[in-house]
Structure formats: C-alpha cells, structure tokens
Structure 1
C-alpha cells in the first residue's frame, strides 16, 4: 500500500534542487521526486494552442503514445514499461487526454487491474472538455489525482465539476514571470473552491516554444538553459505571499532542473537496476556501464580464457570477434589481452555507457592496451 507521510506546514519547506512547498506535498509529486512514476504521454492531440507549450513537434497534434520516452502502440506495451521500472504510479499527460477519453478510461482500469489498486495515477488536463459524466467515470475507475491547467473560464468550470464528483483536484500551471497579481487571484479562487494543491512549474524552454519566448522578451537562465529567467523569482514571491494569505491549500514550486536531476535519473536507475545483466553496473546517471572487446579476427580462445578467470556470468560472448565483460574485471582483462601477443594488435577495448530503455550507446571510451 502506498503511504503518504509528508507532514503539513504553513512554513516554506525545501527539498533537494530547489523544490519549495507550503502544506503537504501531493502524493503524486512525492512519487515523482523518487522517480517511481511512469510518465505516460497518451496523445499529442489538443484543443488548445498555448504559446508556452514545450511539447516537441514530433508529438504535437499527433495521436501517438509514449511511455517513459518509448513509443508504444498498444495497452500491453504500457504495462510492460510500467513493470520494467517497477512503477508505483503513473502520470498521464498529453496533449489533452480527454480527447481520447475511451482510451484513457481503459488505461486507468488496466493499470489498476494489473499493478494494483494502490498504483497511484494522476491525470493532466486543461479541464475545458470535462463533463459531469467524464468526472464520474474517472472517479469510478480509480483516478487518484486530477491536475487541471487553467487556460480559460471553462477550465474553472471543469474544476468545479471534478470537485463535485468527489475527485481530488489540484491545479498545475507554468509560472510566467511578473504575473504576480494573476497568480494571487488564481490561488485565492482555487482555495475557495476546495482545490487541494497548486503546482507552480518553472517555465521551460524547448525547441518548439523558443521563438514564442523570444518574441515575448523572455530569456533563459544562465545556469539552467532550459528554464526561463524570472520564473523562479515570481514563484518564490508567490510562496512568501501564500504563507501569509492562504489557510489550507498546498502551494508547491517545482524547478525545471528537478525533472532532469531527480525524476529522470531516479526513473532510469529503477529501470537499469531491473534490466542490468550480471556483467553490467548501473552508474549515478542510471546508465549501464560495461567493457566491450572487439577484434578483426577470431579471438574465441582468449574470450574463453577470460571467461574462466572472471566467471561465466561476468562476460557475454556474442561471437569470436565481440564480447561484453564486467568493468570490475578490467585490469584482469587487460593483462590477459597483453599476453595474447599474436592477436593483441587487432583487439580494441572500450568502456561503454548504454541507455537502459533504448539500449543506445551514449558514450564509448577507447582504452589503451
């Protein structure tokens, strides 16, 4: 059973990498911070065209799905990706997920059925298309959190519909610099309606929204080139104001670097630890590290000798010209290669770092023998 143990406070509390909050951190956010949630992009279709939307052109306007950055084509593949990382929850995003409502309901039901009722699911939507029937069905199928991105008065209507249906509702919005008065009004209105939390996300820059940012006079931060300068300052000012002017609603600021520094790395580590072979180690970035031995000619006798020395589980002989071996035995491997004077000059040795999901080689370092 997933337990939420974050304490309640009207003080501004801080987590690693600049996360700030007042109140009690939402359970969905707590799991994300630990890298325990599958990120499910359910569709690129959307009824809005927000100028600050960071979704890539590869996904925007296309009805395609991605689970942890891997394109998936059916529901079974989603479950496979969730099980691969031993996910304790799923965050469903888009696009606008309500545009594929039947698919959305099927996915929520399947996740709960296959991974257990305690598998925590939160859903992102702008709320404009949310009907009373939608909200009731989402509640019945076990949705744990509904996060609404306010884009219009229709979004506020969606907030009211969701709360009346008994859903746990939060608001999640990017922080546009120097819009303090707007966000103050939003927070007070949300609290009066019974919204449980507001997530303030640092405004992010991507290839798809870069020109829109520049045209509006926004620039990137010096230390975080994918975050907008001034967004964090506005969020901190809002937290200080909220501390004195709100009573129960949670206000949570999430910096852009948290996704990269905490969420992504933690998620990769969970997956890597599950898929790593006995001859692979998991590094601090969640990548698989091993040695690769290759040769122009046959080196099978040498590879068998290495296997005898390091143990069969610590080497994977693909062919007489290629093998992968544990980096923990690198010194022993080099010694054995040096003794093989007849083929030593034909052998190449590398340390490689491999992505645990795509299995692409991200770094290949040649070693002198």
Structure 2
C-alpha cells in the first residue's frame, strides 16, 4: 500500500477539482484495493519474467514492458526523436475511449504549433533534427490528400534518416491508397482494430504493402476473450508489432468509462486500473503460448514522462547556453559557484589554463559568481564556495508571450516559432560534502561516495532534485 504523501495529496486535490461535477459518482481506488491491485500486478509481472527464454524486457527506466523487440517508431518516441503531427481533428469512428471530440477537420498541429503548409513542417523537422514523424488525428484517411502532401514534402526536403508512420482505424483503407503511401515513403502503419470490432480486412490489405504493420489498441479489459485468441492470428497474418496502451480518462470520455464500471486511478492524469492488468495478461498469454509476436505495453507513466522530455530536449539544445546542461528529463540545469572575488578569479584562471573552450563557463562582472558546464566539474575546487543549482523547463510557442525569456527560431522566410524558458527551481544551494553528494548522484557517478556526503542532508532535497534530473522508474504506483 502506498502512503499518502504531500505530493499524492496535491494530485488527489487537483483531480477532485478537475472532476468536481462527477468525482463522487466515479469508482476510485481505495487503499485496500490498491494493495490487492499491486499484488496482482506483481504476480503478473513475475509470471511474465519467470521463464527460461529472454522474451520480455523493460525499457525507458522500467516504464515500458515489451517482448522480443520494439518497433522503430516506439524506439524513436522513447529516445526523443519523434514528432506526432495531428493531421486533422475529425474521425469516422465511435470509440468509447476517445479522449476528445473529433468533429473539426482543423489544421495540422504538433506541440501547440499549427502547420498549414507542409513545407513549414518539413523545415521544422529538419531544423529540430527530428528522426521520426507520425500522422495521427482524428482519422488521417479522412484527409488523405493532406497526408500525402505532407508525406511527399517530408521525403523531398529532409535529407537525414526519417522514419514515418501513421495511425488509422482502417475504415477507409484501400489497397490503392496503401500502395500510394508506400510508394511515397511510408514506413509503418498502425491499426486500432478495437475501433472496428477487431475486423482484420484492412490490416490484411496492408501486410505485404507497407513495410511494417503494427496493431495499436487500448487494452480493453472486457475484450480479453477476443484479444487473447487474436494474438496468434495477428502473428500468423504477418503483423510486425502489437502495442497495448493504457486507457486514460478525460472529462470528455468520463461518462462512457464510468458506465463500464472501471476503477479510476489518481495520478498526473486519471487512468483506468483494469486496463493495465489486461495488458499484462495479454503479454503473459502470448509468452505462455509461445507466440513470437513482439508486444509492447505503452503505460501512461511512460508517455507522460518520456514524450514530454522529448519535446523539451529538442528545445533545450537550441535555447540553453553553452555553460548550461541538459538533464535526462530535458530540463536545463544551470550551475554556478558563489564566493569572494579572490576565489572566483582563481577558479577562472584554472579553467583558462585547462579548458580551451571558454564558452563552457562565464563569470559575473564583479567576479562573485562563476557559471560552469558539468564537463568542467573535475576542474572545480569547491572549497570555500557555495554551489547554486537552478532548473528551467521549455515550451514551444507559435508567438512570443513576453512573459518569459525566449528565443525565436526561424524555420524559413515565412515561418518562425518561439522557444520560451520557464524557471522551475530558482536555486538550490549546497556546500561542502553536499556538493560532493550532488556530483556523485547527478554529474559523475565515479566520484567516490562516502557516508559523510549525506550527513545532515535535508530529507526532501533528493526528491526536489530528482524531479528535474531523472525519470520516475517503473510502472506508476496505485492510489
């Protein structure tokens, strides 16, 4: 059972505010059920891994469970090289779990940026060094000409390797359209079979035409009797990958999910308990039956952490100063030492003698503070100084808000975007052994640890830093 920490209490309060008109009518996880659900999850994971073969594994800080292999698109998503272009906002499906209304054709959008012109989007992909693009919606086949225009433009304007895939419910798929997509460079197509009662007609058309055919569906618990036997069929039909994702509750789909008597989980976003159990059950079944179909469970904790980090990393590489660092979560880390003028000048002279790249540090005019990149850590003498560590996040905006520091990024003569910088932690101050602790934990693990490093370390300090430095490992706790 997970204790109710201040952070969890805050999340629960926010959830109650967001669902104020319906919170009391929803079935929320109780502490007793949380313990039972955690035990069930642990037993399923044990059953998945307790076998002689090497089929199952974890990726991305233990937030993504998969068997055999991940699709190239999923690998790009987790590593930060992916852009999802919502090609439209209209759909011909009636999926009960859809998180938002899909009645507006709209313009293509990604990361709050609208791209009416395919050339502008291609220039965005090129400048931000994006290695994977997906077309989503809505239903992309409802604006097929638009998809084709963006696909052709990307292939003609991008010279670096680019993996492109698209999502569909399959209702409008034809063999001719599939061949057109293939001939213009589509690498992968992903079918949500649950949107069409798990019919395989469209999928069968794609196998042998599109190089990689994937099925991506939510793990719907009441459909297990259909999806268990489906696993072997998908493998026999030549499907390359099966992606199972976790159902998420939104104010838009809340009433339909509630009607199914799901148990709701608190978290950064509300998710459905039973969908995670269903995904793990399907993975176990595939392994028990020796079905070699690669399966990947795309948990919400993976999506919320790694997809956000991916966007921030791209921004960070452009907006951060040379003396600043990028953390694994995509935050900008700013480190400086503060001391008297004599000490700071001495450090400055040492760096001049040892590091030819003078952009990796800078001092204030009064020489009471020296900012430095983590690459210089081994050259720093931290005696008689305080270390200040600050963290910032970034966002991509269509125009300048003038509320935050920003940098304009010119895509071409007609289109530019703006990266804004947001201070998240203005300053954590460390001295003495606590500086050594920080260096060992976050800069260079080879720094020899000692018991004195953590002596009198404020209890909340590691958590306050971890949120900017590292991903929360494993599947999300139940509460």
TM over 0.5: yes
Aligned to 2:467: none
Aligned to 2:151: 108
Contact 1:162 1:169 in 2 (8 A): yes
1:201-245 deviations in whole A, cap 9, x for unaligned? 111222322232223222332455432112111111111110022
Aligned to 1:66: 109
Shift of 1:270: 2.4
Aligned to 1:270: 314
Q: 1:233 aligns with which of 277, 285, 295?
A: 277
Q: CA–CA distance in 2 between the matches of 1:227 and 1:50?
A: 17
Aligned to 2:180: 137
1:17-43 deviations in whole A, cap 9, x for unaligned? 431111221111111110111111100
Aligned to 2:85: 40
Q: 1:160 aligns with which of 177, 184, 204?
A: 204
Aligned to 1:305: none
Contact 1:96 1:126 in 2 (8 A): yes
Aligned to 2:394: 355
Contact 1:352 1:363 in 2 (8 A): yes
Aligned to 2:438: none
Contact 1:290 1:327 in 2 (8 A): no
Aligned to 1:126: 169
Aligned to 2:250: 206
State which drifts further: 22-31 or 178-187: 178-187
Q: 2:261 aligns with which of 217, 227, 231?
A: 217
Q: CA–CA distance in 2 between the matches of 1:53 and 1:119?
A: 29
Contact 1:265 1:286 in 2 (8 A): yes
Contact 1:17 1:255 in 2 (8 A): no
Q: CA–CA distance in 1 between the matches of 2:169 and 2:330?
A: 33
Aligned to 1:185: 229
Q: CA–CA distance in 1 between the matches of 2:281 and 2:198?
A: 28
Aligned to 1:94: 137
Q: 1:354 to 1:236 in 2, by over 3 A?
A: closer
Contact 1:355 1:361 in 2 (8 A): yes
Q: 1:34 to 1:352 in 2, by over 3 A?
A: closer
Where does structure 1 lack aligned partners over 5 or more consecutive residues?
A: 1-8, 292-309, 311-325, 336-350
SS in 1 for 2:257: helix
State which drifts further: 73-82 or 28-37: 73-82
Q: 1:24 to 1:361 in 2, by over 3 A?
A: closer
Where does structure 2 lack aligned partners over 5 or more consecutive residues?
A: 1-52, 336-347, 349-359, 370-389, 398-418, 428-479
SS in 1 for 2:207: helix
Q: CA–CA distance in 2 between the matches of 1:282 and 1:330?
A: 22
Q: CA–CA distance in 1 between the matches of 2:271 and 2:127?
A: 30
Contact 1:126 1:155 in 2 (8 A): no
Contact 2:219 2:245 in 1 (8 A): yes
Q: CA–CA distance in 2 between the matches of 1:364 and 1:241?
A: 44
Aligned to 2:340: none
TM, length-normalised to structure 2: 0.58
SS in 2 for 1:13: strand
Shift of 1:67: 2.1
Q: Quote the RMSD (CA, aligned, Å).
A: 3.3
Q: 1:175 to 1:153 in 2, by over 3 A?
A: closer
Shift of 1:280: 6.4
Aligned to 1:26: 71
Instruction: Check if 1:245 corresponds to 2:284.
Output: no
Shift of 1:331: 10
1:131-175 deviations in whole A, cap 9, x for unaligned? 111011011111111100112268521101111435421100011
Q: CA–CA distance in 1 between the matches of 2:123 and 2:160?
A: 17
SS in 2 for 1:357: strand
Aligned to 1:300: none
Contact 2:286 2:292 in 1 (8 A): no
TM, length-normalised to structure 1: 0.74
Contact 2:231 2:291 in 1 (8 A): no
SS in 1 for 2:271: coil
